[in-house]
Amino acid sequence: MKYETVIGLEVHVELASKSKLFCSCTTEFGGEPNSHCCPVCTGMPGTLPVFNRKVLEFAVKAGLALGCDITRVFRFDRKNYFYPDLPKAYQISQLYAPVAVNGHTEIKTADGTVKTIRIHEMHMEEDAGKIIHSPDGKTAFLDYNRCGVPLVEIVTEPDFRNAEEVNAFLYRLRSVFKYLGISDCKMEEGSMRADVNLSVRPEGSEEFGTRTEMKNINSFRAIERAIAYESARQIKVVENGGTIIQETRRWDNASGRSYAMRSKEEAKDYRYFPEPDLPAFHISDDEIKRCKDLIPEFAEERAERLVREMSLPEEDAALITASRNLADLFEDTVKICGAPAEVRFWFTGGLLSFINETGRDPEDIALSPEKFAEFAGLVVSGELKREAGKKVFRALLESDGELDLRKFIKENGLETLDDGELIAETVRKVIAENPKPYEQYRNGETKVFGFFVGRVMKELKGRADPAAVNSTVRNILGNSLEKHL
């Protein structure tokens, strides 16, 4: 029998607000243990939470971007459970009136299929601290720095049928949140975490099978593996006549397996009830409108527009728009210097390969569009040849956009050369130094022509006009050939 896998997600995303959800402590990652704490986020007796309304803007933008209805009067609820990383022994979350509900977003898989994923709800909640175990396992240390960092949890409907769709959704989510500037969505650092609810059923069946929930999946690759493992496991159980137990399972990436954590019977009763320390919060039409106005054009839409408006190849457009920072840099630079092709050349070749080589975060690229436009302008005007420009551009990127372009060009002698005599002299020198290729050329192997052009350009540090070099090489080689005859 053929089986279909049915998957729903619960995705936690840390919001990049400067301060925590219910106090003014910094949300900065890392730091000395317990240095980003106060009596409120460490749950000291008598302290009270105060909602950081800045987070609401983040959450509303996220909700709107996911096509959700925004709840006009939302509340917080307490989720009660004991754990050392949770100093109040309850997490302030939202159950009864989450900030956003009933959304949907479209995903596109590799084969180009577009599919709509329904969002059940998105709610705000506070993160817990971290437990660090001593190497001998005898002592547990608590770091409450992360306690109270704002999270949103996005709960989807069971609309996924395979890992590819799940990852397409997570990529989309990451891209949207990064574009909104509300999270860096780093799965490895835990700022984006996905729990996978998975069940299997015979293909064509309308009924859902019993589902399991998998936790502790920390990368896109792990998602693929965990889903493959769990659906295979379930199918095997069903085929052997067994029944799936509704349970929470823990993914272990090292062994590539998931393990049962607790069954439905052992499931925690979180004893949710409305948080009495916080009033109900109202969101006005104005606030929603303000958030709507702050929603940018997202990566996919933006890429389509760049293809349309600037005739960029789809691949380049996708690369450029993957980061909002880079896409802004691209468009702003084009706007200033008006040379999309030139900017694209430096962008895809120079900038993106620089990012790949150095492993820099695209969001951290500080090059200003003004500086980029100045550089592109030099190339367009012919003052700088592309060949020589590569060295300049690299230096510009390495200086974080601080480089004084003209000074650098001058100091390194990279200005465009229009001295025909010097070019000719260099050509003659290169021919003299390379008798063997010259011999080949004379024997009719014209493909070594390119070799001479390249050598000359190199000798001239790329400063010469490639066309001029071309014709000079052709002339001199041609002349020498004639002489020979």
Partner 1 sequence: MTALETGRLIRSGKLSVTEAVSTALEAAERENGRINAFITICREKALMRAADVQKRIDDGTLTSPLAGVPVAVKDNICTDGIRTTCASKMLENFVPFYSASAVEKLERAGAVIIGKLNMDEFAMGSLSETSYFGPVHNPLDAERSAGGSSGGCAAAVAAGIIPAALGSDTGGSVRQPSAYCGVTGFKPTYGAVSRYGLIAYASSFDQIGPVCRTAADCAAVTDAVCGADESDSTSRNMFSSSLLSGLTGDVKGLRIGVLKESLDAGMTEAGTAQKVLEAAKELEKAGAQVKEVSFPYLKQAFSAYYTIAMAEASSNLARFDGIKYGFRAENFEDLNDLYCRSRSEGFGTEVKKRILLGTTILSGGYYDEYYLKAMKIREAVRRELDRIFTGTDLLLTPTAPGTAPLIGSGASDPVSVYCSDVFTIFANLAGLPSVSFPCGTDENGMPVGAQFTGRAADDGLVLNAAHAFQIRTDWHMLGSSLSAYRDSVTVQSHVPAGGKLPDEKRTLGKWGEESYEIRNSDRP
Give residues in contact with partner 1 (CB under 8 A).
Answer: 39-40, 42-51, 78, 80, 82, 84, 87-90, 142, 269, 271-273, 276-279
Nearer to partner 1, 42 or 472 (CB): 42
Note whether 38 and 153 are within 8 A (CB): no
Nearer to partner 1, 142 or 307 (CB): 142
Nearer to partner 1, 97 or 299 (CB): 97
Nearer to partner 1, 78 or 324 (CB): 78
The encoded tokens of residue 268 equal 């925690």
Q: How far is the CB of 87 from partner 1 (least distance, A)?
A: 6
Note whether 232 and 256 are within 8 A (CB): no
Angle ∠(150,155,161) on CA atoms, nearest 5 = 140
Nearest by Cα to 91 from 144, 135, 148: 148
Q: How far is the CB of 49 from partner 1 (least distance, A)?
A: 8
- What is the distance between the terminal CA atoms of the chain, rounded to a whole angstrom? 80
d(CA 217, CA 177): 20
Nearer to partner 1, 49 or 98 (CB): 49
Alpha carbon 355 to its chain centroid, in Å, reads: 13
Q: How far is the CB of 167 from partner 1 (least distance, A)?
A: 34
Nearest by Cα to 484 from 447, 439, 436: 439
Nearer to partner 1, 90 or 179 (CB): 90
Alpha carbon 318 to its chain centroid, in Å, reads: 12
Q: How far is the CB of 146 from partner 1 (least distance, A)?
A: 15
Q: How far is the CB of 21 from partner 1 (least distance, A)?
A: 13
Q: How far is the CB of 133 from partner 1 (least distance, A)?
A: 12
Nearer to partner 1, 236 or 271 (CB): 271
**Angle 420-433/449-459 helices, nearest 10 degrees?**
120
d(CA 231, CA 160): 13
Nearer to partner 1, 279 or 478 (CB): 279
- Number of C-alpha atoms within 13 angstroms, CB side, residue 226? 28
Pairing of strands 114-126, 150-156: antiparallel
Long-range CB contacts for residues 359-363, cutoff 8 Å, separation at least 24: 362/322, 362/323, 362/325, 362/326, 363/178, 363/184, 363/323, 363/324, 363/325
Nearer to partner 1, 44 or 366 (CB): 44
d(CA 295, CA 286): 14
Q: How far is the CB of 215 from partner 1 (least distance, A)?
A: 19
Q: How many residues does the chain have?
A: 485
335: helix, coil or strand? Answer: helix
Q: How far is the CB of 292 from partner 1 (least distance, A)?
A: 26
Q: How far is the CB of 25 from partner 1 (least distance, A)?
A: 14
